[in-house]
Amino acid sequence: MSIEALKVKLFADGADKAGMLEMYAKPYIKGFTTNPTLMRKAGIQDYEAFARDIVAAIPDRPISLEVFADDFSEMERQARLIARWGENVYVKIPITNTRSEASEGLVQRLSHEGVKLNVTALMTLTQVRSTAAAIHGGAPACVSVFAGRVADTGIDPMPMMKEAVGILSENPVAELIWASPRELLNVFQADAVGCHIITATNDILKKLVLVDKGLTEYSLETVKMFHGDALASGFRL
Active site residues: 92
Rounded Cα distance, 199 and 203, in Å: 12
Report the run of H or E that residue 226 belongs to, with start and end.
helix 215-233
Exposure string of 91-117, with b = 16+ CB inside 10 Å and e = fewer, is bbbbbebeeeeebbebbbebbeeebbb
Neighbour count for residue 63 (Cβ, 10 Å): 23
Question: What is the pairing mode between strands 197-200 and 9-13?
Answer: parallel
* Contacts with 185 (C-beta within 8 Å, 6 or more apart), sequence order: none
- The number of residues in the chain equals 237
**8 Å CB contact between 96 and 73:** no
Q: What is the residue type of 64? A: S
| Helix-then-strand count for the chain, H and E | 11, 8
3-state secondary structure of 86: coil
